[in-house]
Structure 1
Amino acid sequence: MKPHERLNEAMNDRRLELRLTWKQVAATAGISVEALGAIRRGAYRPTDLTARGLDDALQWNHGTVLGFYPDDERRGGRRPQEPRQEADHDDEIDLDTFVPESPAEKALMALYRARKQEEANRQADRQAIQEQLAELTKKLDEQSRKIEELRAEQSQKGGRGPRRSA
């Protein structure tokens, strides 16, 4: 599979995960839909600036888009990447700063970020539900207080309210 085909497939998977349209990806990346189409078809290789915009639009680490192209295929060249940070322990990796290099690492990182976003969304949903519950509880308490006041008022008047005539 050619680099632009791998990139197109990865961008499409990520776009779908984020529930974005191609138009939204292009707009967020600061490029036209036509330019994005040319990149996806392999007619155009993204510059560093365009690739960075696509990385941002797809919520990828900077350098991910250009990582699909071998160095000799990149137009205009590119500064070498900083060396990967090694974990202190073999089984501990800081996934928030990890820079994936292989397609498998990139796919796993995409899954990690998607799950992390889902957890953040669930937490936000829980917070919103708690706030709604607090508001409803407040309204219920207020209504209960009003009912008790009306009952007390009626009992002071000595009856259960107006009687209907038959």
Structure 2
Amino acid sequence: MKGEITVVDGKPYFASAFIDGKYVVGKDWDIRSPFFVYSNVRKWNIFKIEGDFNSVHDIQEKVASIAKENGYDLNQAFAFKIKGEFDALTAHIVTPRLPEVEGYRKGVKSQKFSFENTKGEFIGFYSEHHQGVFTHTDGFVHVHFLMKDKSFMGHLDKINTTGKTFKLYLPKRK
């Protein structure tokens, strides 16, 4: 493990952070991962979210609420996207954990990066049955942040945004 991978609209984004305080985002398919979750979404339904995000848990709650209100089965895992402008967020990029892997730094498992007043999208997965598999053990979502200009991508850790309107994308149901 030496970075984060996110594929959006068929385009790969690979983020690495081998040097303290710096990150690089690659955009080619010359990447590998020890684990990967994916969904092929051909069409999206778009919903409006108004209000605040003060945690990743808030994202989980709003995604679940809107999905349930619109007939989605929360027992089935699904992908989602949220687009908008965010007041403040922090995301991390994992770093190599073995000395023989390029970019290894002793005692460093990830690097955190913070942004203010930034536009972009959250790409995530919701599942009530994969805790500790592809979601954290204490939640039902796994969320990455991709900056609008595609210059940064990483795993979302913290979010604080108030009084905004966002677009939530859920897979179009058959």
Shorter-chain TM-score: which interval? under 0.3
Task: Name the one with the larger helix percent.
Answer: 1
> Which has the greater radius of gyration?
1
TM-score, with length taken from structure 1: 0.23
TM-score, with length taken from structure 2: 0.22
Name the structure, 1 or 2, with higher relative contact order (CA <8 Å, separation 6+).
2
Task: Name the one with the larger strand percent.
Answer: 2
